[in-house]
Amino acid sequence: GTWENPPAFRFGKWRRGFNKIKSFLLYPIIEMPYVVKFKYLLFYLLLPPLVFFTIFYGKMEFDYLLFTTFLAFGLPTVFFVEYRERLLRKAEGELPDFLKQLASLNEAGLNVVEALKNLSESEAGILGKEIKTIKIRVEWGELVTSAFIKLERRIKSSVFQKAISMLVKAIEASPTIKEALVVASNFSELEIEMRKRLRAMMSSYIIIIYLAFGVFLYTTYVLIKNMISVFASIEAPQFAGNVNLAELESVFLETSILVSVFSGLAAGIMGEGRIEAGLKHVFILVAITYVFFKFLV
């Protein structure tokens, strides 16, 4: 038994712990990016910059070390966020055609299960993989509505949530769901088109934010090069002793980084309606700020 063989019990406990860690580490690799939560990626995003910082600490200028560490963390993070958003938009773009094809097959006399089996063999792309998953779940005996609800939870998109919610209610009400599918398809198309127009309209605000940040940096440059230089050139000891150019530049740098972070987040919210969309703008503006103070000021 367990008490007669404590080493075996301990081995089983260690193996369960190892399997949990392994599944946690492999989850972001084997799962689709639009499903993976950010917490599962933190290990992969934080490990390279931490290793880099530890290796080069004391071997290069501290501000340059911080900047390169920021690059090591920021580049993969921005890449993942943008790649996930691209996949979501692609899946949303495929949804109206999928619903129309489902409606056509339903009108031809196939029920939802048969139509899904038919579509799973012909559909490609991101949505094609999800349709195959729905088909497998239905073949294992799961309700069609339950399989669609799980799809809605996997693909966290307002377009999918609204369209699938309509579809599930229609399936529960009647086996002939052609009208509901057509309505859901039309709704999806209108929603996607409206989002495209909104992004195009809001892009002008992103340009304004970048221009305002450029004006802020230019003002900073003028202040540092002119006003501070005037104070530094004063020969009176009571002034010269109190002026520290390095400290003042450091204050301006920290202020500029703070402004770049909030400007980037504002650009993401105004341009795409998502705070994580601002990460790429934060990354760009912080990089511009560092280069500006390092090489121009």
At 77-89, the pLDDT tens digits run 899 888 888 988 8
pLDDT reading at 145 higher than 80: yes
The answer to whether 106 and 176 have CB atoms below 8 angstroms apart is yes
How confident is the model over 186-226, as pLDDT tens digits?
888 998 999 889 888 888 999 999 999 999 999 999 888 88
For residues 84-103, give the mean pLDDT. 88
Give SS3 for 125: helix
pLDDT reading at 65 higher than 70: yes
> Angle at Cα 168 formed by Cα 166 and Cα 170, nearest 5°?
70
pLDDT reading at 97 higher than 70: yes
Q: Phi, psi (5° rounding) for residue 273?
A: 75, 15
pLDDT at 1: 45
Q: CA 263 to CA 285: how far, in whole Å?
A: 8
Q: CA 145 to CA 165: how far, in whole Å?
A: 9
pLDDT reading at 232 higher than 50: yes
Question: Considering the chain, what is the average pLDDT of its residues?
Answer: 83
- In this structure, of 4-18, 75-89, 104-118, 214-228, the range with the lowest mean pLDDT score is 4-18
CATH topology of domain 90-193: Receptor-associated Protein (1.20.81)
Give SS3 for 94: helix
Q: Exposure of 132 by Cβ count < 10 A (0-12 exposed, 13-18 middle, 19+ buried)? A: middle
* Stretch(es) of the chain classified as CATH 1.20.81: 90-193
C-alpha distances (whole Å) from 112 to each of 18, 115, 144, 270 are 42, 5, 8, 40
pTM greater than the 0.75 cutoff: yes
